[in-house]
Amino acid sequence: MNDQRVLEVEQKSPVSEEDNLIIDTVNKFLERDVKPFVKEFESEDKYPQLIADKMADLGLFGATISPEYGGLGLSAVTYSKIVENVSAVWMSVSGIFNSHLIMCAAVERFGSEEMKQYYLPKFASGEIRGGIALTEPDCGTDLQSIKTKAEKVGDDYIINGTKTWITNSVQGSILAVLVKTDTNIKPAHKGMSLILVEKKHGFVARKLKKLGYRGIDTGEVQLENVKVPKSNLIGEIEGKGLQQILAGLELGRINVAARGVGVARASLDDSIEYAKTRKTFGKPISEHQSIQIKLAEMATKLEASRLLTEQAAKAYDSGNRSDLQAGMAKLFATETALFNSTEAMRIHGGFGYSPEYNIERYYRDAPLLAIGEGTNELQKLIIAKQLVSDN
Ligand SMILES: Cc1cc2nc3c(=O)[nH]c(=O)nc-3n(C[C@H](O)[C@H](O)[C@H](O)COP(=O)(O)OP(=O)(O)OC[C@H]3O[C@@H](n4cnc5c(N)ncnc54)[C@H](O)[C@@H]3O)c2cc1C
């Protein structure tokens, strides 16, 4: 992004000096330790272990965990700026710490003090990394239909079921698993609970192939008679799992919106650069009106996405539920990522279709944003529900 626009963004957003230092440090890490390696790891769908280790050194696995538990305690505003910058370089890297942080948020908000004392420092340092396991082969949007069951036997839960599309399940060692602890109760969410399950307890994960978001692991997880101490139930009381994970997903949606801003920004920046150098009919294509119109639309949608994302992050930081703002930001910013990556492909002509350029990666990564953390169809339902209930 050109310096003038970066400056304008910084002026619009109140970020402390200390947080700006963290953002600068992450930017340097992206330039030095990520950018040169993206093509290699992406094209081979290879896990970037060194990058993940450096992220641990930077404290990113504890970005939003409170300092009292060893985290950086960043605000959602600062966190979303970091996610935007990471995603403008390589969206997959944001997945390594984002679903981990949704799990962390659920533990910090709802876990017992004993659970927090034990797990959060290890989560913050990156010693234990993981994610969230909600989706099943037969349901993703309709989470109340999950079939994975946890049965209490003595001091343990015995868990059986299959989860799919679970990010960090192969390389990570812990998952917050959404289960049914009561299959008869109505409504179904009253029988749903969130349980921390470690790999040592016995879950098995198989890596899945993907269109984009490559390099990081997304897997199918089998839980067969997995025995977990009952103290791993988040919040100690059964039946609260759906609310707990939905609260965590607010931050998740802000993060996905920020990813959208990052991908949309990278698509625009690469397009501006290309349009200034590619010549047709004796002049740079940036001088053709049809290209100028594309750039103008891309830039306007990008700015609107960034403002919506910042607004959602501020609402989250205020401590109130921010479903409406997070839903709007997620919807608009991710549709913008899809729009901008497609327009970037057109601006680049045939070269956009080549792995030599980053455009085809943005084009493959962007659709996930419309699916993950609640599909965009679901976001519209969430937005409408809030509008109706507020009036
Ligand atoms: C790369 C990748 C990583 C992922 N990582 C994770 C992860 O870490 N953890 C995790 O738990 N899940 C993860 N997921 C799963 C993801 O969250 C789900 O794919 C998503 O929630 C949608 O669920 P589904 O695929 O079952 O689609 P479905 O729920 O079957 O939906 C299919 C279509 O129907 C639409 N639809 C459904 N219900 C309605 C309705 N009521 N009204 C209107 N339209 C509707 C949807 O919007 C969609 O267009 C990941 C997925 C991918 C692809």
Q: Is the pLDDT of residue 10 over 50?
A: no
Interval between CA 4 and ligand 1 midpoint (Å): 38
Q: Is the pLDDT of residue 177 over 60?
A: yes
- Whether the per-residue pLDDT at 58 is higher than 50: the answer is yes
- Please determine, for residue 210, whether its predicted confidence score (pLDDT) is greater than 70: yes
User: Mind listing the pLDDT tens digit for each residue in 80-133?
Assistant: 999 999 999 999 999 999 999 999 999 999 999 999 999 999 999 999 999 999
User: Which residue carries 């009036």 as its tokens?
Assistant: 391
Which of the following is catalytic: 31, 250, 373, 377? 373
Work out which ligand 1 atom sits closest to the CA atom of 168.
8
By C-alpha distance, which of 362, 367, 369, 370 is closest to 345? Answer: 362
- For the segment 312-327, the average pLDDT, to the nearest whole number, is 91
Cross-strand bridge partners of residue 217:
none
272-311 per-position pLDDT tens digit: 999 999 999 999 999 999 999 999 999 999 999 999 999 9
**Confidence band of 3 (pLDDT split at 50, 70, 90):** very low
Ranges of each domain in the chain: 3-125, 130-239, 243-390
Residue 261 has pLDDT above 70, yes or no: yes
Q: Which long-range contacts (CB under 8 A, 24 or more apart) does 18-27 make?
A: 19/74, 19/75, 19/78, 22/72, 22/74, 22/78, 22/82, 23/78, 23/81, 23/82, 23/85, 25/58, 26/58, 26/60, 26/82, 26/85, 26/86, 27/85
Among protein residues, the one whose CA lies closest to atom 24 of ligand 1: 140
Residue 249 pLDDT class (50, 70, 90 cuts): confident
Q: Whose CA is nearest to atom 20 of ligand 1?
A: 140
Q: Which of 375, 376, 378, 380 to mutate to test the pocket of ligand 1 (most atoms within 8 A of CB)?
A: 375
Q: What is the pLDDT of residue 7?
A: 43
CA 372 / ligand 1 centre spacing (Å): 6
pLDDT of residue 72: 97
pLDDT category at 391 given cuts 50, 70, 90 is low
Superfamily of domain 3-125: Acyl-CoA dehydrogenase/oxidase, N-terminal domain (1.10.540.10)
Spatial contact of 119 and 107, defined as CB atoms under 8 Å apart: yes
Give the nearest ligand 1 atom to 131 CA.
8
CA–CA dist 184, 186 (Å, integer): 7
Mean pLDDT of the chain: 95
Residue 221 backbone phi and psi in degrees, to 5:
-115, 125
Mean pLDDT of 180-188: 97
Task: Report the atom number in ligand 1 closest to the C-alpha of 132.
Answer: 9
CA 25 – ligand 1 centroid, Å: 34
Tell the residue nearest (CA) to atom 50 of ligand 1: 165
Is 243-390 assigned to CATH 1.20.140.10? yes
Distance from the CA of 6 to the center of ligand 1, in angstroms? 34
pLDDT of residue 14: 67
Query: Is residue 247 over pLDDT 80?
Result: yes
Residues with CB under 6 A from ligand 1: 99, 131-135, 139-142, 165-167, 210, 213, 218, 368, 371-372, 375, 377-378, 381
| 42 among known catalytic residues | no
- The answer to whether 130-239 and 243-390 have equal CATH topology is no
What does the pLDDT average to over 24-29?
98
How many Cα neighbours within 13 Å face the side chain of 211? 10
Residues 150, 128: Cα–Cα separation, whole Å: 23
Q: What is the dihedral of CA 51, 52, 54, 59, to 10 degrees?
A: 140
User: For residue 296, how far is its CA from the centre of ligand 1 (angstroms)?
Assistant: 32
**pLDDT of amino acid 85:** 98
DSSP string, 228-273: EEGGGBTTSSTT-HHHHHHHHHHHHHHHHHHHHHHHHHHHHHHHHH
Strands 156-167 and 149-153: antiparallel
CA of 194 to the centre of ligand 1 (A): 19
β-pair type (283-284, 279-280) = antiparallel
Q: Write down the CATH number for the domain with range 130-239.
A: 2.40.110.10
Name the DSSP letter for residue 209: P
Q: What are phi and psi of 214, to 5 degrees?
A: -90, 170
